């Protein structure tokens, strides 16, 4: 019973927050405390759903972004990008950006979250809806997350190996890139890039970079190198660099705390508690079991993709979804002879990232936080962006599941 109650309460949270213009994180936290307590959970268990690591990583990153935003570094970068790419070549801009980010993923360097602040600033300066530019990056996440040298691909292959499955990452990578590229073509026309007129970049005055801009960029480069090559946690590195920049006078330490996007941080923090209660009371398991009941040989990849996507909305793709569903794939191949294990592994991997752009997942949460920092939206605008990210996640779930029905995951592009 409580599993059903928890799922209903999650829907109620979203409705109340949208109708009453209240921060959805605060509503989620309140409902989580109520439903969790009535469901027999202790306060410790309820609050244990709070993802402190995600919260700290977001806060640390936002400290660095706030310094770069308010000392003019982000604006200086955006001006230079506009000057170069948004003149006569503006209609090619999204194509070049998408292709460049995908190539970075295939090279093993996950650049989206690192370049996200610049994309948000670029949209802001060009007076475009944030999703018109950031959406390109979200599509790139789907296209390149399982490139063979990426962390998700390494995780998926490692989990599969533990289950004694020999998995070729290239098949998952190519399938993901095909789906995302088709969506990118649709996105290009839906958001009107084919009608975009060149901006009057001749009137954009490019000011020389000051010593504050240069130090900020140096700090950002150190952050990127530490994250990509030394494996240092972004929460630690970003926070330390931001504090050093404030100490040397590059950032305003007194104003930093006021400029952090607390609205976005409360949204993510509160909702992680809410979905933690839903998971603890069996809501997530109920969804998974219900979908698994309709599985057969023909639709097994699509069903697993859908289950993985739904689980990933409220849990870690690498830490929870993949380790949980890979053993299920092994059992399904025994119960449904003839189902290729490779197709099931690919379905689980791509499905787990189909909803990674949800505002309740790491990627979507970072988009929401950066949007909050750069656009400084009110509650209504914040909720609109929250719902837009939910829509992106829903589209991803439907399209990637449909690809499973159509048999794309059964194709062995590389033997």
**Euclidean distance between CA atoms 366 and 385, whole angstroms:** 12
The percent of residues in the chain predicted with pLDDT above 90, rounded, is 17
- Predicted confidence at residue 79, as pLDDT, reads 67
Look at residues 211, 90, 175 and name the one whose alpha carbon lies nearest to residue 345. 175
Position 187 confidence tier, pLDDT thresholds 50, 70, 90: very high
Q: How much is the average pLDDT of 313-329?
A: 74
Position 189 confidence tier, pLDDT thresholds 50, 70, 90: very high
- Predicted confidence at residue 124, as pLDDT, reads 84
pTM for this one?
Answer: 0.73
Residue 355 in this model has a pLDDT that exceeds 70: yes
**Euclidean distance between CA atoms 212 and 218, whole angstroms:** 10
Residue 277 contacts residue 376 (beta carbons within 8 Å): no
**Euclidean distance between CA atoms 136 and 87, whole angstroms:** 19
Position 135 confidence tier, pLDDT thresholds 50, 70, 90: very high
Residue 260 in this model has a pLDDT that exceeds 90: no
Position 199 confidence tier, pLDDT thresholds 50, 70, 90: low
**Euclidean distance between CA atoms 152 and 105, whole angstroms:** 11
Interacting residues of 365 by C-beta distance below 8 A, sequence separation 6+: 54, 58, 264, 268, 359
Up-side HSE of residue 188: CA atoms within 13 Å toward CB? 16
Up-side HSE of residue 219: CA atoms within 13 Å toward CB? 29
Residue 201 in this model has a pLDDT that exceeds 60: no
**Euclidean distance between CA atoms 223 and 3, whole angstroms:** 42
Q: Which residue has the higher pLDDT, 146 or 206?
A: 146
- The mean predicted confidence, pLDDT, of the chain is 82
Residue 28 in this model has a pLDDT that exceeds 80: yes
Q: How much is the average pLDDT of 163-178?
A: 88
CA angle 72-75-80, nearest 5°? 125
Q: Looking at 126-197, list the stretches that DSSP marks H as alpha helix, in order from N- to C-terminal side.
A: 130-144, 151-162, 169-190
* 43-52, 104-113, 133-142, 319-328: range with highest mean pLDDT: 133-142
- Predicted confidence at residue 110, as pLDDT, reads 63
Residue 200 in this model has a pLDDT that exceeds 70: no
**Euclidean distance between CA atoms 80 and 394, whole angstroms:** 35
Residue 125 contacts residue 75 (beta carbons within 8 Å): yes
* 184-198, 221-235, 241-255, 362-376: range with highest mean pLDDT: 184-198
**Euclidean distance between CA atoms 193 and 96, whole angstroms:** 13
């Amino acid at each position: 019973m409580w599993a059903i109650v928890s799922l209903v309460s999650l829907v109620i949270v979203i409705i109340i927050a949208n109708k009453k213009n209240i921060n959805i994180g605060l509503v989620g936290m309140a409902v989580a405390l109520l439903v969790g307590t009535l469901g027999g959970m202790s306060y410790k268990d309820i609050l244990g759903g709070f993802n402190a690591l995600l919260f700290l990583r977001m806060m640390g990153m936002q400290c660095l972004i706030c310094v770069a935003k308010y000392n003019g570094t982000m604006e200086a970068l955006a001006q230079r990008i506009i000057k170069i790419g948004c003149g006569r070549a503006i209609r090619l801009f999204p194509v070049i950006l998408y292709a460049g980010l995908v190539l970075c993923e295939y090279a093993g360097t996950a650049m989206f979250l690192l370049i996200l602040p610049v994309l948000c600033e670029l949209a802001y300066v060009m007076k475009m809806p944030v999703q018109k530019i950031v959406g390109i990056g979200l599509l790139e996440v789907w296209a390149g997350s399982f490139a063979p040298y990426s962390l998700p691909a390494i995780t998926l292959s490692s989990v599969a190996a533990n289950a004694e499955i020999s998995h070729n990452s290239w098949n998952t990578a190519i399938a993901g890139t095909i789906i995302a590229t088709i969506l990118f073509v649709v996105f290009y026309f839906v958001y009107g890039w084919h009608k975009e007129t060149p901006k009057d970049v001749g009137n954009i005055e490019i000011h020389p970079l000051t010593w504050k801009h240069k130090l900020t960029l140096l700090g950002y480069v150190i952050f990127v190198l530490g994250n990509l090559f030394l494996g240092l946690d972004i929460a630690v590195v970003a926070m330390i660099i931001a504090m050093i920049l404030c100490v040397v006078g590059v950032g305003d330490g007194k104003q930093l705390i006021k400029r952090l996007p607390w609205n976005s941080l409360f949204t993510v923090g509160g909702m992680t508690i809410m979905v933690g209660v839903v998971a603890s009371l069996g809501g997530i398991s109920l969804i998974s079991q219900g979908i698994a009941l309709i599985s057969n040989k023909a639709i097994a990849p699509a069903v697993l993709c859908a289950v993985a996507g739904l689980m990933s909305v409220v849990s870690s793709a690498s830490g929870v979804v993949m380790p949980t569903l890979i053993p299920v794939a092994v059992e399904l191949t025994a119960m449904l002879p003839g189902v290729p294990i490779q197709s099931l592994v690919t379905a689980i991997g791509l499905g787990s990232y189909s909803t990674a752009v949800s505002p309740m997942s790491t990627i979507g949460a970072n988009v929401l936080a950066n949007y909050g920092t750069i656009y400084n939206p009110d509650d209504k605008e914040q909720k609109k962006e929250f719902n837009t990210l939910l829509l992106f996640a829903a589209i991803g779930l439907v399209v990637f599941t449909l690809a499973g029905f159509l048999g794309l995951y059964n194709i062995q592009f590389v033997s």
